[in-house]
Amino acid sequence: MSDYKLHCFAESGNAYKVALMLELTGQPWQAVFVDFFNGQTRGQAWRDQVNEQGEVPVLEHAGETLTQSALILEYLAERTGQFGPRDEAERREIWRWMLFDNHKFTSYYASLRFIFCLKKSAETDVTRFLRERATAAYRIVDAHLAQTPFMVGGRLTIADLSLAGYVFMPEDTGIDLKQFAHIEAWKARIMAMPGWKHPYELMPRAAAGD
């Protein structure tokens, strides 16, 4: 029996952060498919019974229901003893990058990808604004990674797993990701971790035609 149940869907980079953590730490886990594109997370039943914030990912474990990927990553680091901070200074540094990720790096990129690639919106001021903001956040992370192989403490931590949510997604957002050479090298280091899997391989998708 799986210890962990992760409510997720393949296209969710926020869920991928948690799925990859479970996979890299070798936890038995089970994916529960969320039909996001048909509005499941917007329904009252989902909000009443699963997550009042109306978001994926949701992790069920040992009678607890956890939401917010950064908090879930910290929970898993504490329970597995892997990829967490070694001291208080590292803990603060990890949270500093996870907050930056949630507010800017993931947030602008994921919104752009959703509107432009998945919803196939035309180019508008909104897509241009999101691309500019996402590019600025990528530039900041790229500059940090020019000095260190991983975000905090020179080794893979949950800060990297948080920032890595969307970087393996294949859709073309109109940002030339090859310009971020240090991010590309960091991605290769993450892909080399034993147990790494692509998000579309790790989490369930709606059946074709759904």
Ligand X SMILES: N[C@@H](CCC(=O)N[C@@H](CS)C(=O)NCC(=O)O)C(=O)O
Q: What are residue 61's phi and psi, to 5 degrees?
A: -160, 130
The beta strand positions in the chain, using DSSP E, are 4-8, 29-33, 58-61, 64-67
Q: How far is the CB of 72 from ligand X (least distance, A)?
A: 7
Question: Nearer to ligand X by C-beta: 55 or 142?
Answer: 55
Question: Nearer to ligand X by C-beta: 114 or 182?
Answer: 114
Rounded to a whole number of angstroms, the CA Rg of the chain reads: 17
Q: How far is the CB of 181 from ligand X (least distance, A)?
A: 27
Question: Nearer to ligand X by C-beta: 146 or 170?
Answer: 170
Question: Nearer to ligand X by C-beta: 70 or 163?
Answer: 70
Q: How far is the CB of 160 from ligand X (least distance, A)?
A: 15
CB 118 within 8 A of CB 171: yes
Instruction: Using alpha carbons, list the distances in angstroms from residue 93 to 37, 96, 127, 150.
Output: 35, 5, 31, 12
Question: Nearer to ligand X by C-beta: 119 or 178?
Answer: 119
State the residues that interact with ligand X by CB under 6 A: 12, 14, 41, 54-57, 68-70, 102
| Residue at 28: amino acid letter | P
Q: How far is the CB of 191 from ligand X (least distance, A)?
A: 21
Q: How far is the CB of 17 from ligand X (least distance, A)?
A: 7
Provide DSSP, 16-49.
HHHHHHHHHTT--EEEEE--GGGTGGGSHHHHHH
